[in-house]
């Protein structure tokens, strides 16, 4: 969410658009962007404010768990998926896995790459090898290929 400013650089309230006395109210779970609110709106919206962030605690906890899981995998010597590029042959994805400063590339069928959403967050090559064949690929994308 982008903030709105007056021509003079004053922050505008996200709720009513006024400027002056507007403050950024942070998400109580540190998950979503702060909301800019004027004094009146802060008072008016306070009773319902917690409902805006109803999923933030869970989302934040999930993201923290996923990134801890990623670090645990790296510590155990397992690279994790960092990005994928659809190749010229659009049925194949060039996937990159990272561990520390090392990047490992594999080609895999797009339909198998698409199954990453069913895998745990930050899947490893072994997670994919359970249902597909990985073909060694360069450790960086060749954008001229796409």
**Secondary structure letter of residue 119 according to DSSP:** S
Taking residue 12's Cβ as centre, other Cβ atoms within 10 Å add up to 17
Contact region with Zn ion (CB under 5 A), list: 13-21, 65-73, 96-104, 109-117: 13-21
Provide the mask over 23-62, with x wherever binding to Zn ion is found by CB under 5 A and - wherever it is not: ----x---xx-----x--x-----------x--x------
SS3 sequence of 126-143: HHHHCCCCCEEECCCCCH
Nearer of residues 40 and 89 to Zn ion, judged by Cβ: 40
Taking residue 127's Cβ as centre, other Cβ atoms within 10 Å add up to 19
Count residues binding Zn ion (CB under 5 A): 10
| Interface residue list for Zn ion (CB under 5 A) | 13, 15-16, 27, 31-32, 38, 41, 53, 56
């Amino acid at each position: 969410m982008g903030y709105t400013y007056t021509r003079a650089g004053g922050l505008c309230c996200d709720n009513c658009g006024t400027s002056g006395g507007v403050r950024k109210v942070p998400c109580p779970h540190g998950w979503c962007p702060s909301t800019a609110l004027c004094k009146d709106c802060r008072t008016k919206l306070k009773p319902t404010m917690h409902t805006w962030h109803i999923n933030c605690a869970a989302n934040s906890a999930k993201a923290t768990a996923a990134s801890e899981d990623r670090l645990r995998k790296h510590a155990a010597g397992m690279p994790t998926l960092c990005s994928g590029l659809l190749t010229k042959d659009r049925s194949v994805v060039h996937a990159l896995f990272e561990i520390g400063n090392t990047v490992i590339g594999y080609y895999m069928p797009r339909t198998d790459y698409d199954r990453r959403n069913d895998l745990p967050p930050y899947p490893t090559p072994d997670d994919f090898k359970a249902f597909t064949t990985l073909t060694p690929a360069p450790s960086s994308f060749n954008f001229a290929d796409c």
